[in-house]
Structure 1
Amino acid sequence: MHTGPRPSRGGRHRGASKRPGKLSVSLDRFTNRGETAPADPVLSVLPSAAPDFRDTARSTVATFAAGGTCSSWLVNRIADEVYTPLAASVDPGVLAVDQPIPFGDSICHDVVRHRTDAVSLDLSTTRDPVLAAKADGFGIKHYAGIALRNPRGELIGSLCGFTERDLRTDMTGWLRALDTQGVSLSRSLSADLQRAAGDRRADLDAARRSTDATTGLPDRHGWGLLLAREEERAARLAEQVGVVLVDLGTVFTTRSARRAAHAVVETAGGRAQVARTGPRQLGMLVGGGSATTVSGIAADVGEVLRAGGTNAVTGWAMRTRLDGMIDAWWRAEDALLTNRSRALQIPHAR
């Protein structure tokens, strides 16, 4: 049973729904919108604080690339076992910017995951068969890099360089530069991620300017604003974002709808932004959360609502880089319809 506004699928390029009365879901329509050894690099490459991590990352790879040691320098975001290059020097041959791969497939996974210091490694002589296979697959012979960590010591990214040729350079100065810049990038990225949490609270306040009278939650227009803001944030920081949709099931009165909405907000506990997306449907955005977190929230909400006497059903999906938040919303609704059909033991036509 369709319980809320459904985005237009319309092929790979998604835009606004053309059905009368449906919410426009096109995000851009929302108004709130050489072989010689180089000299040692300067250790203090960039100041320790920068207003935007992407700018810091781009400046870093440009500065390191100018030194001429490695043919490719990358600054990467690591979140929920996903590895996404956010900035790269002029040679794009190793990995593409904004093209995520499983973290386990990266060389950083094997080299810097458990280290806090910078490392330089001749991959042509490694005895690790997994690492040797990755080096051969990427076509590189030398790696230098450092992990980026937040103040709690958690891995949030990496800075690394590759070269496809034998490297006959004293890397002592470069390792010092990597250590220094690793601290700078860690601070910058940590600050941006911390700022994102505050931005989400501000976005929710802005979304409440268009409020559903029954529940007091943002309505469908507020939901659109939340989607647009989260898309920008996810694209900039390679954040993991999930969408959870909740079919409230048997809700006959204004009071029961308000009570169910309150239960959803309480169960989310600040982990998600909640809006009313249809007469019997609520939408939840989980920014910065892993798939495990998103699926857990969906399960918790469904359990609480069913314990309260409704036949509520949930569906969830994660944003992907290729399709963005609108596709995540569509896939969450598809999952919701599938789960509803299963609950009613009615085959869901696909």
Structure 2
Amino acid sequence: MTTTSPTPLSAALTPFQNLAEATHQTLALLHNRLGFQLWMVTRTEGNDWIVLVSNDHGYGVEPGQVFRWCDSFCSRMVQGFGPNIAPDSRAVAAYLEAPIGQQVEIQAYIGMPLLRPDGHLFGTLCAIDPQPQPDRLHHELPFLQLQARFLSTLIEQDLQAQEMVRRLEHAQLQAHTDSMTGLYNRRGWDLLMATEEERCRRYGSPATIFVLDLDWLKQINDTLGHQAGDQVIMAAANHLRQTVRASDVVARLGGDEFAILAVEMAASDAESFAQRILDSIEAGGIQMSLGWASRDPRHSLQTTIATADERMYRIKQLRQRAASHLPTFCSYPASRSLRDPMPGSV
């Protein structure tokens, strides 16, 4: 049987390979149809406004750049203070007062929210131009709403698919586990960190890393024996495993050091999660030093874990200096007065 090359029409209807290609083509279509020097798909996380995809013809904005959400036109549009379409944005008080307008020349604006199925804001589809645009742009509102809904649907489907991929990755890396605790070992941790970093960059996703270290393990080994020390390690691992969410990664990095990669966890949720971890550990009579850091969109997860590790050791040193007696396994409470203030992000 012979095969034929696709016709120009069928080639134009070939499905996109991935979300990135579909988004790039959508922004190109919008630019060709409506003009505007810059089109973007963004994500909001706290006060970070992260550029995921851009179609730029003069502003010099690239994917991965991060701006202040509260400075943007889009933050005002989402709150209802300004319209979705502003052919002359200087005529809209909310946009005229926006700090971003003082940083770059903006005289026309389009903004559409990108929503999750539960109505929460994912980000925006938006465009700006240094020149005013024709008033007939208002007639494009139904078309723009449709494009925003399509993008929201594609993003949501891709996020759900990535969650399934994440679970498959976890299952496939079961071979990279620590023989004593059953948690991921250093190799498994490194592999899962690399794949999660790629997701963070692609979707602007948040993540938080917690680093924990057992206190007094050397003293326990020296006074009660290594078998008692192993029991402490295994008990700590069980408490961590029972505390985290199904999507999180828990690893024993070596010796008495553990780490948790909490995916899709923003800095605003990290402190309460850290408290839950410490409460679970304390309930088992185990004492650990904990430090955490949330990923900054400008940096990587490797930077994040380095910051979390530094904070953990700072706490550990404080606890050791304050200790006046040798604790024993299952008999000592953690000292709440020595806990870190838990600063938020890298």
TM-score bin, normalised by smaller chain? 0.7 to 0.9
2:43 is equivalent to residue 59 of structure 1: no
2:66–2:298 contact (8 Å) kept in structure 1: no
Secondary structure of 1:93's match? coil
Residue among 244, 250, 254 paired with 1:278: 254
1:250–1:310 contact (8 Å) kept in structure 2: no
Change (3 A) 1:311 1:90: same
Q: TM-score, normalised by structure 2?
A: 0.79
1:74–1:87 contact (8 Å) kept in structure 2: yes
Residue among 110, 115, 123 paired with 1:149: 115
Change (3 A) 1:50 1:294: farther
Q: What is the distance in 2 between the residues matched to 1:52 and 1:113? A: 31
1:122–1:141 contact (8 Å) kept in structure 2: yes
2:91 is equivalent to residue 125 of structure 1: yes
Shift of 1:67: 2.0
Secondary structure of 2:40's match? strand
Q: What is the distance in 2 between the residues matched to 1:132 and 1:216? A: 52
**1:242-268, CA deviations, whole angstroms, 9 ceiling, x for partnerless residues?**
111111224543233212111111111
- Give the letter for the 2:18 counterpart: D
Aligned length: 300
Shift of 1:68: 4.5
Flag structure 1 segments of 5+ consecutive residues without an equivalent. 1-45
| Residue range with higher mean Cα deviation, 330-339 or 124-133 | 124-133
Aligned CA RMSD, in angstroms, stands at 2.5
Residue among 203, 208, 224 paired with 2:169: 203
Residues 326-341 of structure 1: pairs in structure 2 closer than 5 A: 326-341=302-317
Residues 156-171 of structure 1: pairs in structure 2 closer than 5 A: 156-171=122-137
Change (3 A) 1:63 1:127: same
Residue among 253, 258, 273 paired with 2:229: 253
Match of 1:236 in 2: 202
- Give the letter for the 1:268 counterpart: V
Structure exhibiting the larger radius of gyration computed from Cα positions: 2
Change (3 A) 1:159 1:306: same
Secondary structure of 1:333's match? helix
2:147 is equivalent to residue 181 of structure 1: yes
1:207–1:223 contact (8 Å) kept in structure 2: no
- Give the letter for the 1:300 counterpart: R
| Residue range with higher mean Cα deviation, 91-100 or 53-62 | 91-100
- The alignment-based identity, stated in percent, is 23
Residue among 214, 222, 226 paired with 2:188: 222
Match of 1:16 in 2: none
**1:261-284, CA deviations, whole angstroms, 9 ceiling, x for partnerless residues?**
111111113252111112111111
Match of 2:291 in 1: 315
Q: What is the distance in 1 between the residues matched to 2:160 and 2:17? A: 13
Secondary structure of 1:212's match? coil
Shift of 1:133: 4.1
2:38–2:58 contact (8 Å) kept in structure 1: yes
Secondary structure of 1:218's match? coil
2:37–2:58 contact (8 Å) kept in structure 1: no
Q: What is the distance in 1 between the residues matched to 2:43 and 2:16? A: 17
Flag structure 2 segments of 5+ consecutive residues without an equivalent. 1-11, 218-227, 323-346
Q: What is the distance in 2 between the residues matched to 1:87 and 1:269? A: 30
1:113–1:155 contact (8 Å) kept in structure 2: no
2:249–2:262 contact (8 Å) kept in structure 1: yes
Q: What is the distance in 2 between the residues matched to 1:247 and 1:343? A: 12
Secondary structure of 2:199's match? helix
Secondary structure of 2:31's match? helix
Match of 1:25 in 2: none
Match of 1:15 in 2: none
